[in-house]
Structure 1
């Protein structure tokens, strides 16, 4: 009896680990951007960690309004707006799209959320009603910049180590640092 229980536990562990690896987000989305320093830099900051996804905005003291849309082919869970100020808001529609508006004056404003059953996260970000410059968007610990204001972060389908799939930009699929434009 004891041998069969041990065997069953080992078998379940072997089956569980590859399944979780198959649904991992790219390593370069991981970690709060090192450059995020409220009141010293302006921009939008996106990252993933063990608590889920995070979107923050901050400015160098000037008042700016950040608006946009976040979309996934899964659904949002545990949306947390504790970093909001008076007139900030988000609207979750059909569990797969979040529209947001943050007014930022030197401090940090944003939301946290999880994604269930989704393979990608698309973001479209505006600052003061204009497409935000990609140089003002920082993703992951290293703070890399996407190619434009509208970008997609993909869950890597066969992620077993820290390699990121890079494909030529003309091909439909991954390019850059594991993301592609829609």
Structure 2
């Protein structure tokens, strides 16, 4: 009986420490399955969450040059922020509170940002292409690549 009590206590501790590992919407899970043909023709932004509790934002613009900008906010704190395939003119800036990320991804090709969220219940995205609102049909979220209602959306 004592071993069972210790096991239950340890399990509760692990669940508490794991934070938001189980909190994010299933709709955001998994890298969008865009075909290469889609990616070549449509300048797009993909957003997903993976099994390592990381969020990803990837810009794809293979035919022409575009500038993707935006804000990412949370009620928690961003950490382990990584940039991939960034060129001159690209940036990722995190504010002092670590609850807002500003980004600019330029050029032709593929750029990616990954990050984790600590003690947060939501992540809000506000996305733009070439200074205009990013068309919702060019935003792909999660493995099934669903489109949000507008360029401003929240994942919980």
Is the CA contact (8 Å cut-off) linking 1:36 and 1:45 kept in structure 2?
Answer: no
Structure 2 vs 1, CA of residues 26 and 17 (structure 1 numbering), >3 Å: closer, same or farther? farther
1:9 maps to 7
Task: Give unmatched runs, 5+ long, in structure 1.
Answer: 155-182
Is the CA contact (8 Å cut-off) linking 2:71 and 2:125 kept in structure 1?
Answer: yes
1:161 maps to none
Is the CA contact (8 Å cut-off) linking 1:83 and 1:111 kept in structure 2?
Answer: no
Alignment of 1:33 onto 2:32: yes
1:82 to 81, 84, 89: 84
TM-score, length of structure 2 as denominator length: 0.86
**Secondary structure, aligned partner of 1:108:** strand
**Secondary structure, aligned partner of 1:66:** strand
2:118 maps to 116
Structure 1 or 2, whichever has the larger Rg, is 1
**Secondary structure, aligned partner of 2:84:** coil
**Within-5 A mapping of 1:56-135:** 56-93=58-95, 94-105=97-108, 107-135=109-137
CA–CA distance in 2 between the matches of 1:9 and 1:126?
49
TM-score, length of structure 1 as denominator length: 0.75
Tell me which stretches of 4 or more aligned residues in structure 1 moved more than 4 Å: 16-23
Q: Which has the higher contact order (CA 8 A, sep 6+)?
A: 2
Task: Give unmatched runs, 5+ long, in structure 2.
Answer: none
CA–CA distance in 2 between the matches of 1:144 and 1:16?
35
Report the RMSD for the aligned CA atoms in angstroms.
2.1
CA–CA distance in 1 between the matches of 2:75 and 2:98?
10
CA–CA distance in 1 between the matches of 2:28 and 2:70?
19
